[in-house]
């Protein structure tokens, strides 16, 4: 099982829980020392240092891992986040979000899908999962850079599901609410229904076990946000302004 973006936060917690359940876990991220610390604490796991924005490095990593055996699960949980509003727009940050959150995911998808198809033809049931966010459901204040990349991931996963499910490959999208990670600690507002990474990982594993397309949590928060998705724009904009003061 290959977790891309597993040096901290949700990815690390998922790797820990999968290892505890007996899975052979491969963790990737840019920070080799953090990966090595994981491997030392979790015997039998493997670390592959990787910059997801480097397409060739991603291809080479996928080829090497495929030579070691089939991948039953590939999860893309790498992410970048900085709060941003249009009156303080910074193009380099916008592009960095795009490169890590979306282009990196495309690099991984392109690298692993051939192997997943081969595995499915051999009778296995591989799974591809992308971690997006409820921030991708509709536009939100301070989400100028982050939200559009997560919306694109959701659309990508929907299309991958339609294309790959008939071949026997499971596809899922994970849309967490607020999780206490180094990224969300940048927020300067109270985050409702805040989860620990371990709670988020547990919700992801339970969602995968159910076999549905979308995993979203915590439901006491995300179900309300789903209702906001169906509001007409005039009502939605007014409600968000009232709720956030922005």
Give the active site residues.
146
* Residue 245 CB neighbour total at 10 angstroms: 8
| Token pair of 65 as six digits | 């891992």
3-state class of 84 per DSSP? strand
Is 52:100 a contact under the CB 8 Å cutoff?
A: yes
DSSP symbols for 13-44: HHHHHHHHTT---EEEES-HHHHHHHHHHSTT
DSSP line for 148-201? HHHHHHHHHHHHHHHHHGGGT-EEEEEEE--B-STTGGG--S--TT-B-HHHHH
Which is it for strands 2-4 and 26-29: parallel, antiparallel or unpaired?
parallel
> Which contacts (CB < 8 Å, 24+ apart) does range 239-244 have?
240/140, 240/141, 244/140, 244/141, 244/189
8 A C-beta contact, residue 149 and residue 133 = no
Which burial class, exposed, middle or buried, applies to 193 when counting CB atoms under 10 A from its CB (0-12, 13-18, 19+)? middle
Q: Verify cis geometry, omega within 30 degrees of 0, for the bond prior to 154.
A: no
């Amino acid at each position: 099982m290959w977790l891309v973006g597993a040096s901290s936060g949700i990815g690390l917690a998922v790797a820990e829980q999968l290892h505890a359940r007996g899975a052979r876990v491969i963790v990737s991220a840019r920070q080799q020392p953090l990966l090595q610390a994981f491997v030392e604490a979790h015997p039998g796991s493997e670390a592959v240092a990787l910059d997801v924005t480097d397409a060739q490095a991603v291809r080479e990593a996928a080829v090497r891992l495929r030579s070691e055996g089939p991948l039953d699960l590939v999860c893309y949980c790498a992410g970048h986040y900085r709060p941003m509003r249009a009156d303080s727009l910074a193009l380099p940050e916008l592009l960095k979000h795009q490169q890590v959150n979306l282009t990196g995911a495309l690099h991984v998808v392109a690298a692993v899908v051939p192997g997943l198809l081969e595995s499915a033809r051999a009778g296995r049931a591989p799974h591809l999962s992308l971690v997006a966010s409820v921030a991708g459901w509709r536009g939100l204040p301070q989400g100028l850079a982050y939200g559009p990349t997560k919306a694109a991931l959701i659309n990508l996963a929907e299309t991958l599901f339609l294309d790959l499910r008939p071949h026997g490959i499971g596809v899922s999208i994970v849309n967490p609410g607020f999780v206490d990670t180094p990224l969300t600690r940048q927020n300067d507002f109270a985050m409702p229904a805040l989860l620990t990474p371990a709670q988020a990982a547990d919700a992801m594993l339970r969602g995968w076990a159910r076999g549905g397309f979308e995993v979203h949590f915590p439901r006491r928060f995300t179900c309300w946000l789903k209702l906001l998705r169906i509001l007409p724009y005039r009502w939605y904009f007014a409600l968000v302004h009232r709720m956030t003061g922005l």
